[in-house]
Structure 1
Amino acid sequence: MTSYGDTTGPLAIAHRGGMALAPENTLAAFGRATSLGLTHLETDVQTTRDRHVVCFHDTTLRRVTGHPGRISDLDLADVRRLRVHGTDRVPTLGEAMAAFPQARFAIDLKDEASIGAMARLLAAHPSWAKRICVAGAWSRWLRRLQDEAPGVTTALGWRSLTSLIACSRGGVRPVGVGTSGGAFAHVPMRLGRLSIHSERVIDRAHELGIRVVVWTVDDPATMRTLLDAGVDGIITDRPDVLRDVLISRDQWTRPSPLAQGREVTRPAPAPPR
């Protein structure tokens, strides 16, 4: 099993497992993406009241499950009774990594409570650390995670990423970014009305030895523009579209048979509450 970044060619990363093709952050989504041949999956993590790390984006439950309240106010046993869009269970991060042992995960750290919980998970499964890249968090959260889980790969935290973008636009070298421990920069296409991505950001990051991954991109024309500009990876809700674009450019890296997953059969709907 290679480490998270030990691949050739641009990384094709399925956002929340490829949420345009299956319910977000579920085993079904991860299975669908790996069945297409993707080896990299993006997920978000939140932590339950009893300190289990689960694959879930929102702080609150209503949008995805229809249940009121916050995920941090429920124990894992309570969360297991819920269904994502009425069909799929909320998996733990450990379940997802065990179900797809050849996959690598880009993990968007959503709450500070997840730091200690993730460190404990990685202590119990030391080989998993090389399969993940943790991103989407404040720089101090990522430094703490690196202290508690040595060897884990991280992307730039928000403070370092902001410095990289601002300095790239201003034509100056960001101070300390290259030594901050971030091997990747996960750069959004836009923040509100502000366009964030630019070739200057890519060039400056590469000068610092940082690989640039842009999110979230579903349009094939934009994918091609980014690849022409030299991005190192794209996070997308449409892994099928990104795969076709990479194949058309002869940039698709075919996974080994062991790396390809299978689609996951969904459980029966939850009984009425």
Structure 2
Amino acid sequence: MAKPYFDSDGPLALSHRGFSPEGLENTLIAMEAALELGFRYLEIDVRTTSDGVVMVFHDERLERVTDGVGLLADHSLAELSSVRVRGVEPIPTLAEVLERWPDARLNVDIKDDASVQPFVDVVEQAGAHDRVLVASFSDRRRLRVLRRLSRPTASSAGMAVNALLKVVSPLGLAGRAARLARVDCLQVPRHYRGIPVVTAGFVRRCAAAGIPVHVWTINERPEMEALLDLGVSGLVSDRADMLAAVMRGRGHWPRVN
């Protein structure tokens, strides 16, 4: 049975780190912009401070997108309070996001091992089990989170399990492997190192096994249309404006928060 997280009509549209042409990724203003476009699902990343606070942030280091310096993990929440993304927006905490938008669904990529228990604590405190999906490139980290949560939470496969399911799907074993790995969906690139991942056969076999396939990060309209025609169950995009238009054109929206 599908988890409540996936309760949606039609394919899922996920806004990648919110929506900000100005590069204000993973900030409250970027998430607000995506939600105003009609998005219900936000893809975000989390890392944890030196004093155990889960922050919505992608990189290991601060320099690429903020006016701060060094590893995020070496800073306390108080030290990060003056850091600004692109010199403009503060780095939000996961707790802030969950509290601010109780109807939003969060696809959370857990970027470091230090976030495992703090992430669990935030989800438990907020009672957010039905509105988060646990994701990580590391299946080991992902499974550590799932084992510590008091209630089932949606989860997508990491790199190892994605590869395994790609290999075993022609053998009719994808459903069994997904259940053993505690996977509710696959979130994959269209190609990996030049090798096609999302093919008609792969999508068809996953659908037969009850495994939704979400594809990232798709930023061109023809590719969005082609993948939806192929039957994928979700798209992740930096171009929330474009993806919203595609979804509306196909009759899946509007949905205005």
The amino acid of 1:79's aligned partner reads L
Partner of residue 226, structure 1: 227
Equivalence map 1:48-197=2 (5 Å): 48-126=49-127, 128-149=128-149, 150-168=151-169, 171-174=170-173, 176-179=176-179, 180-197=181-198
* Higher RCO structure (Cα 8 Å, ≥6 apart): 1
1:174 is displaced (CA, Å) by: 4.2
Q: Give the whole-Å Cα distance in 1 for the aligned partners of 2:66 and 2:199.
A: 37
**TM-score normalised to the size of structure 2?**
0.92
Which amino acid counterpart does residue 74 of structure 2 have in structure 1?
Answer: D
Task: Give distance in 2, aligned partners of 1:253 and 1:6.
Answer: 16
User: Which residue is equivalent to 1:271?
Assistant: none
Give the match's secondary structure for 1:49: coil
CA contact (8 A) 2:136 2:142 kept: no
1:16 is the counterpart of 2:22 = no
**Equivalents in 2 of 1:194, 1:61: separation in Å?**
32
Note the residue ranges of structure 1 that are not aligned, 5 or more in a row.
261-273
2:206 alignment partner in structure 1: 205
* One-letter code aligned to 1:26: T
Give the C-alpha shift of residue 144 in structure 1: 1.4
Amino acid paired to 2:130:
K
Contact 1:8-1:253 at 8 Å conserved across structures:
no
- Amino acid of the structure 2 residue aligned with 1:173: G
Q: Percent identity?
A: 33
Q: 1:2-13 counterparts in 2 under 5 A?
A: 3-13=4-14
TM-score norm. by structure 1 comes to: 0.87
In structure 2, the residue matched to 1:266 is none
Question: How much does 1:219 deviate?
Answer: 0.5
Q: What is the CA-CA distance between 1:159 and the residue it aligns to? A: 1.4
Aligned match of 1:46: 47
Q: Distance in 1 between matches of 2:245 and 2:134?
A: 27
Q: Please, which runs of 5 or more residues in structure 2 have no aligned partner?
A: none
Q: Distance in 2 between matches of 1:19 and 1:203?
A: 34
One-letter amino acid matched to 2:244: R
**Residues 95-154 of structure 1: CA deviation (Å, up to 9, x unaligned):** 01111111100001111111101111122122x111011113322222211111131211
CA distance in 1, matches of 2:172, 2:58: 33
Aligned residues: 252
